[in-house]
């Protein structure tokens, strides 16, 4: 009899499992403008960077940790229900990065107010509507794209063990690609209780970031609150194999990001009054709102440049920026503080031309354009455009001398292939014209 009773209990248990597995749950979020969330993110990264030094490949250990906590109010939701714009107030935004023996810490200035996160042309853009952010602040704000998380949900009824495909647009944003080349990310419902639905996101994806090919493998676990009808927790594991690019080295990294998300009442810091400076609608933000502040390491000069210029190097001697367009390298700008002249004076044009002609590795063929450039603020700007060979490569270089009214001087050299000159357009002039000098005490 005991055996039959055990058998009967087993049949009941099997039937219960079958019934549970047959249950369906709607994994969808209904969001609207004005909804507000409290977001907390913790990120840890480990891996190595591969760089060429003195002709040898060097492996540098790389680690990073970041913490972000903020309130996020939805500002624009498109017809499909995708969130394309939010306003944030950060309580915490900090990141610590160690490469080899060098450690850098990035933080958002505590006096910053509203930060807007917006999807523009399949990219996530962060900006402050009242003042330009610094490069360090932008790096402190780089994190998992919480605008795109709802796209991980299938938006329909699903059963345990059922799978669905993750949209390309969400993969590109969440994997931080400038362009997506291929992806096979798949969602799968793995657990269902009265309170939560647990699902996984797994698969490979590849794309372009800063002009380099990146191959990623995703292994994520997500929790959906059935009563709140919200995605409340994401554990996102991503392994990247990155090729060397024009603005980034090769490397392999493992990134683990934990996201906690909860609905909250709108705080006063994100009220309608607090958001009057935020542009309405989904139009691309004005160019001046997305510019980046950059200050010389010794405060000898500063500038405000367009977001498309990427900082790739900064020392006491120079600053190097590279212009990237949809992953393509267009031009490099090298900014070098020059010996000061007397107040109200500047280097003579002929001496400037001679100095630039003697640039190491540069063999000039032909001067294309020479002369003064109209400028403001008491600055004097002189430009020499020339073709030639730089370390054996045919290039076009635009040399700018910028002098301030107190004798401060900076040289900016723009380097590109002749074919890229049209793509550069007047953006070299805009960058050179934005350089300013601090007032001397």
Residue 218, φ and ψ in degrees, nearest 5 = -110, 135
Task: Enter the DSSP assignment of 278.
Answer: S
| Residue range 58-91, pLDDT digits in tens | 889 999 999 999 999 999 999 888 999 999 999 9
What is the per-residue pLDDT for 13? 39
The pLDDT-based confidence of 240 (bands split at 50, 70, 90) is very high
171 three-class SS: helix
Per-residue exposure over 104-113, b if at least 16 CB sit within 10 Å of its own CB, e if not: eebbbeeebe
How much is the pLDDT for 19?
44
Residues 253, 61: contact at Cβ < 8 Å?
Answer: no
- Element counts in the chain: helices (H) and strands (E): 6, 25
Query: Is CATH 1.10.287 what the domain over 24-270 is classified as, yes or no?
Result: no
Asked whether residue 9 carries a pLDDT value surpassing 50, the answer given is: no
CB within 8 A of 23, min separation 6: which ones?
Answer: 159, 160, 192
Nearest of 256, 267, 244 to residue 217 by alpha carbon: 256
Per-residue pLDDT, 324: 85
Name residues whose C-beta falls within 8 Å of residue 323's C-beta, 6 or more positions apart in sequence.
308, 309, 310, 329, 330, 331, 332, 333, 424, 427
Q: How many residues does the chain have?
A: 441
Tell me what the mean pLDDT of segment 376-385 comes to: 93
Contact 437, 404 (CB under 8 A): yes
pTM of structure: 0.86
Q: Are strands 156-159 and 309-314 parallel, antiparallel or unpaired?
A: unpaired
- Greatest alpha-carbon pair distance for the chain in Å reads 109
Higher pLDDT, residue 332 or 100? 332
- Per the prediction, the chain carries an average pLDDT of 91
Q: What's the whole-number mean pLDDT along residues 306-323?
A: 92
For the segment 190-208, the average pLDDT, to the nearest whole number, is: 97
Which H helix or E strand runs over 357?
helix 349-357
Q: Grade residue 16 by pLDDT with cuts at 50, 70 and 90.
A: very low
Question: What pLDDT was estimated at residue 10?
Answer: 42
256 or 438, which is more confident: 256
- Nearest-angstrom CA–CA distance, 74 and 83: 7
Lowest mean pLDDT among 5-9, 237-241, 258-262, 408-412: 5-9
How far is residue 279's CA from residue 203's CA, in Å, rounded to a whole number? 37
Name the segment(s) of the chain with CATH classification 2.30.230: 24-270
Band of pLDDT at residue 349, cut at 50, 70 and 90: very high
Q: Where in the chain is the domain with CATH 3.40.1000.10?
A: 291-433
Distance between CA atoms of residues 417 and 415, nearest Å = 7
Please state the rounded mean pLDDT for residues 211-228.
96
Residue 419: CB atoms within 10 Å? 9
> Span 130-138, mean pLDDT?
92
> Is the pLDDT reported for residue 139 higher than 50?
yes
Residue 440: the pLDDT is 65
* Mean pLDDT confidence for 159-178: 95
Residue of 92, 136, 403, 116 lying closest to 293 (CA atoms): 136
The pLDDT value given to residue 248: 83
**Helix or strand run (H / E) with residue 99:** strand 83-99
Distance between CA atoms of 422 and 419, rounded to whole angstroms? 7
Under 8 Å between Cβ of 98 and 63: yes
Residues sharing a CB contact under 8 Å with residue 394, sequence separation 6 or more, in sequence order: 387, 388, 417, 418
Q: What homologous superfamily is domain 291-433 in, according to CATH?
A: Mog1/PsbP, alpha/beta/alpha sandwich (3.40.1000.10)
Distance CA 430, CA 441 (A): 28
Smallest Cα–Cα separation from 198: which of 231, 156, 228, 227?
Answer: 231
């Amino acid at each position: 009899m005991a055996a039959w009773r055990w058998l009967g209990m087993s049949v009941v248990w099997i039937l219960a499992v079958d019934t549970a597995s047959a249950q369906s749950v709607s994994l969808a979020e209904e969001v609207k403008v004005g909804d507000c969330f409290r977001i907390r993110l913790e990120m840890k990264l480990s891996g190595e960077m591969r760089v060429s030094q003195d002709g040898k490949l060097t492996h540098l250990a790389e680690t990073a940790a970041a913490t972000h906590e903020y309130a996020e109010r939805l500002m624009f939701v498109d017809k499909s229900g995708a969130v394309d714009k939010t306003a944030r107030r950060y309580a915490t935004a900090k990141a610590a990065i160690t490469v080899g023996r060098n450690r850098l810490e990035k933080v958002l200035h505590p006096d910053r107010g509203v930060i807007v996160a917006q999807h523009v042309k399949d990219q996530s853009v962060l900006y402050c509507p009242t003042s330009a952010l610094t490069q360090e602040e932008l790096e402190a704000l780089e994190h998992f794209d919480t605008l795109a998380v709802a796209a991980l949900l299938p938006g329909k009824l699903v059963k345990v063990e059922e799978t669905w495909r993750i949209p390309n647009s969400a993969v590109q944003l969440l994997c931080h690609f400038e362009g997506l080349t291929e992806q096979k990310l798949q969602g799968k419902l793995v657990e269902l209780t009265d309170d939560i639905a647990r699902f996984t996101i797994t698969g490979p994806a590849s794309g372009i970031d800063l002009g380099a090919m990146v191959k990623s493998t995703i292994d994520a676990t997500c929790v959906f609150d059935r009563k709140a009808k919200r995605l409340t927790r994401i554990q996102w594991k991503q392994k990247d194999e990155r090729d060397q690019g024009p603005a980034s080295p090769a490397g392999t990294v493992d990134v683990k990001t934990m996201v906690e998300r909860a609905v909250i009442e709108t705080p006063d810091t994100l009220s309608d009054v607090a958001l009057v400076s935020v542009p309405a609608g989904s139009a691309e933000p004005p160019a001046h709102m997305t510019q980046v502040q950059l200050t010389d390491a010794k405060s000898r000069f500063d500038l405000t440049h367009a977001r498309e210029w990427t900082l790739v190097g900064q020392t006491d001697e120079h600053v190097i920026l590279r212009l990237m367009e949809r992953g393509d390298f267009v031009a490099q700008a090298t900014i070098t503080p020059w010996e000061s002249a007397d107040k109200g004076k500047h280097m003579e044009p002929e001496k400037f031309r001679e100095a630039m002609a003697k640039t190491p590795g540069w063999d000039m063929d032909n001067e294309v354009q020479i002369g003064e450039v109209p400028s403001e603020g008491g600055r004097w700007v002189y430009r020499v455009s020339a073709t030639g060979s730089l370390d054996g490569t045919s290039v076009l270089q635009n040399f700018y001398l910028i002098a301030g009214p107190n004798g401060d001087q900076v040289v900016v050299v723009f380097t590109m292939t002749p074919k890229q000159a049209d793509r550069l357009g007047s953006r070299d002039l805009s960058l050179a014209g934005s350089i300013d000098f601090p007032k001397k005490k």
